[in-house]
Structure 1
Amino acid sequence: MPENRPLSAEIDTTVAHEARVYDYWLGGKDHYEADRALGDAIAEQIPTVATMARANRAFVGRAVRYLVKEAGVRQFLDIGTGIPTSGNVHEVAQQVDPAARVVYVDNDPIVLAHARALMTSTPEGATKFVFADLHDPESILSDPAVPETLDLSQPVAVMLVAVLMYFREESEVRRVLSAVMDAVPSGSYLTLTHPTADFDPEAVAGVVAAAERSGIAFQPRSREELGRLFAGMDLVEPGITPVMAWRPEEPESGAVELRPSARPDPTSAYYWAAMARKR
């Protein structure tokens, strides 16, 4: 979500957009030359970046299943949704509880164009899409779709997966987090992933430079910086971990389990992941 970019429903194919770059890495089809150029420039710095994007996507599924099955949450506010692909939040949540309700938020007009795919709810549940930007959290919270879909007197899971790196200043991150989390009650959850330079500073510095050349703010954060964003909240075990190490799921029955030495190194995906409960 680049700063100071006016929110418009017009699709500008000459400027890279983070949702479309992500779609490119995931093997989607909703991207343009500018998006592919930035995606390739980042991949030159981190050749495994597509694997990292898939690791983030897999984390969403694990986090949502935990929230519905173990935390008992049935409502989601997914900000920075991205272009619809298999395993959207409502699909995962409603597989566990068909009555789950989701509001999706994104600022990419291509996501808006595909919003119908995000609103294929079960009859018992509900989904809505809000075209808005997290830089203006009030535009999200004041949208009628939020109170129409979510009961804000009951816990809500706020999902911010690979979003907060588009804010350069920590003060801005705190501002938008405070606005969103103040709007949901105690017992709500904040779930996020965030890129970090902790594992490979040189490569991530190259990513930052490539993104900035395309006009996209990109701010990696350390584990310590991420921890400050959860001040006053209770982290869910295992706390702040590499994204692939956050509650990895056991192999399905009958599957061949990899030897520990053959499993991917969790720090090979340069993202931290965490979830916390609002007191």
Structure 2
Amino acid sequence: MSLADERLPMTERVPLQTSSSRLSAVWLGARSAHEGDQDVARAVRNVFPRQPAAARINREHHLLITDVFAQRGITQILDLGCGYPANGQHGAAGPLLSQNTHEVVQRRWHAASVTYVDNDPDVVNARRTEVAATAGQTRARTLLADITDTVDLLDQLTRDAAVTRDRPVAVLAHDVFPWISDDDAVRRCVDSLREWLPPGSALSVTHATADMTPTWIQRLTGVYAEAGLSFHPRGRGFTTDLFGDWEDLYGGPVRVIPTARHQPGHHESKAPDFHSAGYAGVAIKPSA
């Protein structure tokens, strides 16, 4: 059975402009034919040569932690700010990173469901096209939503039964909050999700930071601003506070550490912290 997007209309095509999703695809090895993307990518690499490596570190963490959730029997995944599919026109070039969230989960649980969420209509169209091509083989769907409008997001999830609250849900919020400029909007979004999620659910966050390389990240932020992109790296304390009173995935207080060091199987786990240029943390909602 497919939870594909037959009932959800394709979004209207819009002119393609440089976006965080398009740049992320470039960092992961996709070839963009759009001159604007390439211009911004060159400018970013000029001020922060490690940006492509940081994006790959983040993506590998995404795949590793998704597999951890599947191993723990969490079969509902909510992928916020999902970005383009990891194969095809926008996909990653390397085999290590050319997997999608639903492929990782459904290797262990064929009946697991994955809900992709993004506020970029072109990303949503690409995701829906991918899901439609595998209709009957995968339980995945894609929602067009702004996660800062959490009321609307939760309403869509409930109305379409994309996620049910009778069993745990794993929420992936990887490299999504740095692109939201309002600190309070990020906090409200996460607070609403943590309250809504059933016990045993998981929240995984990665967030860019200037803590390790302040000068480089300041220059990077300026390049993005010139391209019309709002980029807001934040410190360890901000990311830690997002988890509230939840416990770390492995017990005890939540660990918020450089992304490459969070999962022992990460290929870059021994790389210098500034290669990550971001923090990762994963927590579980307690039963009481």
Residue 74 and residue 196 in structure 1: after superposition, are their counterparts in 2 closer, same or farther (change >3 A)? Answer: same
Distance 1:232 1:31, change over 3 A: farther
Q: Using the TM superposition, give the Cα deviation of residue 146 of structure 1 relative to its aligned residue in structure 2, in angstroms.
A: 6.4
Aligned residues: 261
Aligned ranges 1:24-35 → 2 under 5 Å:
24-30=26-32, 32-35=34-37
1:219 aligns with 2:232: yes
SS in 1 for 2:130: helix
SS of residue in 2 equivalent to 1:148: coil
Q: CA RMSD in A?
A: 2.4
Shift of 1:38: 2.1
Cα 1:127–1:145 shift into 2, 3 Å: farther
Q: Quick one: which of 250, 271, 274 aligns to 2:281?
A: 274
Indicate the SS of the match to 2:114: strand
Corresponding residue SS for 2:79: strand
* Residue ranges of structure 1 left out of the alignment (5+ in a row): 1-7, 252-257
Superposition pairs for residues 198-277 of structure 1, below 5 Å? 198-237=211-250, 239-249=255-265, 263-277=270-284
Q: Assess if the C-alpha contact under 8 Å between 2:213 and 2:274 holds in 1.
A: no
| Deviation string, structure 1 residues 46-104 (Cα, Å, up to 9, x no partner) | 112111111111111110111111x3211011110000002111000001111211100
Task: Report the secondary structure of 2:161's partner residue.
Answer: helix
Q: In 1, Cα distance between the equivalents of 2:28 and 2:47?
A: 17
Partner residue, 1:56: 58
Matches within 5 A, 1:1-279: 9-13=12-16, 15-30=17-32, 32-69=34-71, 71-85=72-86, 86-115=98-127, 116-118=129-131, 126-143=139-156, 147-237=160-250, 239-249=255-265, 263-279=270-286
Distance, in Å, in 2 between the alignment partners of 1:250 and 1:77 is: 22
Cα 1:76–1:146 change in 2 (3 A) is farther
Q: CA deviation at 1:247?
A: 1.3
Does the residue aligned with 2:264 lie in a helix, a strand or coil? Answer: coil
Distance 1:32 1:140, change over 3 A: farther
- Counterpart Cα distance in 2 of 1:250 and 1:177: 26
Distance of aligned partners of 1:215 and 1:250 in 2 relative to their CA distance in 1, 3 Å threshold:
closer
> 1:88·1:118 contact (CA, 8 Å) conserved in 2?
no
Report the TM-score when normalising by structure 1.
0.85
User: Which is further off, 168-177 or 113-122?
Assistant: 113-122
- Are the structure 2 counterparts of residues 11 and 111 from structure 1 closer, same or farther at C-alpha, using a change threshold of 3 Å? same
**% same residue:** 26
Deviation, 1:192, is: 1.2
